[in-house]
Structure 1
Amino acid sequence: MLAAMSRWEELTGGTSGQDYASRFAALAGSGKDMHGEARFCAALVPAGARVLDAGCGTGRVMIRLAEQGYDCVGVDLDASMLAVAQREAPELPWFQADLARFDPAQLGITADFDLVVAAGNIFPLLAAGTEATVVERLAAALRPGGLIVAGFGLDEAHLPVPPSITLPEYDDCCAAAGLTLVDRFAAWDADPYDGGGYAVSVHRR
């Protein structure tokens, strides 16, 4: 049976890797801080910790964390995005996989991550109906006590697609996977969550 197409694939056709990388390169060139996600993650776990970048895209977050001494693995469904990541950091482990079918053992990865990060609107861009499965699979990749952090938009102003998952729905998925909410922020700079259209949520296994 064919897997349902993700909203990301519907949006981009799976060919947007270089365009995506160029857009972020331009933002970096303009002086914009591009490392908020990595800085946020570094405040959660010490250097040397194992980090799974779930939906790693072109590798911007993971490459920065690896430079800071983290033991990182990147997984993404989009081959065009992974091609950019592999070109930028060929020494790092990048894997093509559907998060709804993510099985570390099949990829030869040990499932004892200290932190799973899902940045870049991963959950709103999943295939419809797979959100709970993805949370379950990512939670299973964590060691006991490990953390999962996910940042995503909740309204049309913060998303390239119509909103598809609310915070209560995401929390329910996490609870079903044995995860407990630790904290929630309004952005990757760790401002307190204020009920706005973007949230960064930290849950613990």
Structure 2
Amino acid sequence: MTEPSTWAEMTRANPEHSTWYVERFRAMAAAGADLVGEARLVDALVPRGARILDAGCGPGRHGGYLAGRGHVVVGVDVDPVLIDAARQDHPDATWLVGDLAELDLPARGIAEGFDAILCAGNVMTFLAPSTRREVLRRMAGHLRPDGRAAIGFGAGRGYDFEEFLEDARAGGLVPDLLLSTWDLRPYTEGAGFLVAVLRRA
């Protein structure tokens, strides 16, 4: 069993946190907020009908958007409350409760690799530090040889960007493109956010 994630600790401390999180994003969507910029970037990386893994999918807004664009989407999140919301709000994708540090989709009957992996919403910073390299290794193992992973998170969250890139390399992923936003602004030193588009080494 892996070390518990920061998210797991938060939800243990406040059992209503996940429900609050779901309702917050539902309210934002109802108000017309643009919540799928991350998914649009991934949509641009892949051909029509691609297989996409939404890693740390939360309540499914990104994977739901991508499924609506005609892709085959599998979303995985450790939080069953968030997965229940994803199933309710976005029934056209497959949603699974699971720990990214133990990700083994072939063992769950999902055998094909993915054209793309999306890992948004600061998911990498919610992981237990001891599991980060293993999560990245398992992501690499779930990519097709020419697939790419788009992973984004903010600075000041306890995971230095250089450390992340080192962990990614150790896990078998190397950068294709580094950005400072999901809307394609180039990455510069001192940026407050990193979007790394990675491929298998």
Counterpart of 1:7 in structure 2 is 6
Q: Is residue 93 from structure 1 mapped to residue 94 from structure 2 by the alignment? A: yes
Counterpart of 1:186 in structure 2 is 180
Identity of matched residues, %: 40
Match of 1:185, as an amino acid?
L
Counterpart of 1:160 in structure 2 is none
Counterpart of 1:203 in structure 2 is 198
Residues 65/10 of structure 1: CA separation in 2 closer, same or farther (3 Å cut): same
Q: Distance in 2 between matches of 1:105 and 1:168?
A: 31
- Residues 14-163 of structure 1: matches in 2 within 5 Å? 15-155=16-156, 163=157
The Cα shift of 1:56 comes to 0.6
The Cα shift of 1:114 comes to 0.5
Q: Distance in 2 between matches of 1:62 and 1:135?
A: 19
Unmatched tracts of structure 2, length 5 or more: none
Residues 51/145 of structure 1: CA separation in 2 closer, same or farther (3 Å cut): same
Q: Distance in 1 between matches of 2:74 and 2:20?
A: 23
The Cα shift of 1:91 comes to 4.1
Which residue, 163, 172, 194 being the options, matches 1:169? 163
Asked if structure 2 preserves the Cα contact closer than 8 Å seen for 1:17 and 1:58, the reply is: no
Asked if structure 2 preserves the Cα contact closer than 8 Å seen for 1:7 and 1:128, the reply is: no
The Cα shift of 1:15 comes to 4.6
Unmatched tracts of structure 1, length 5 or more: 156-162
Q: Distance in 1 between matches of 2:106 and 2:166?
A: 26
Q: For 2:129, what is the secondary structure of its paired residue?
A: coil
Asked if structure 2 preserves the Cα contact closer than 8 Å seen for 1:17 and 1:82, the reply is: no
Match of 1:124, as an amino acid?
T
Asked if structure 1 preserves the Cα contact closer than 8 Å seen for 2:64 and 2:92, the reply is: no
**TM-score, normalisation: structure 1:** 0.90
Runs of 4+ in 1 over 6 A off after TM superposition: none
The Cα shift of 1:164 comes to 2.3
The Cα offsets for residues 78-109 of structure 1, whole Å up to 9 and x where unpaired, read as: 01110101111234211111100111122111
Q: Distance in 2 between matches of 1:26 and 1:93?
A: 23
Q: Distance in 1 between matches of 2:99 and 2:149?
A: 18
Match of 1:144, as an amino acid?
P
Task: Give the superposed CA RMSD.
Answer: 1.5
The Cα shift of 1:167 comes to 1.3
Match of 1:81, as an amino acid?
L
**TM-score, normalisation: structure 2:** 0.92
The Cα shift of 1:16 comes to 3.1
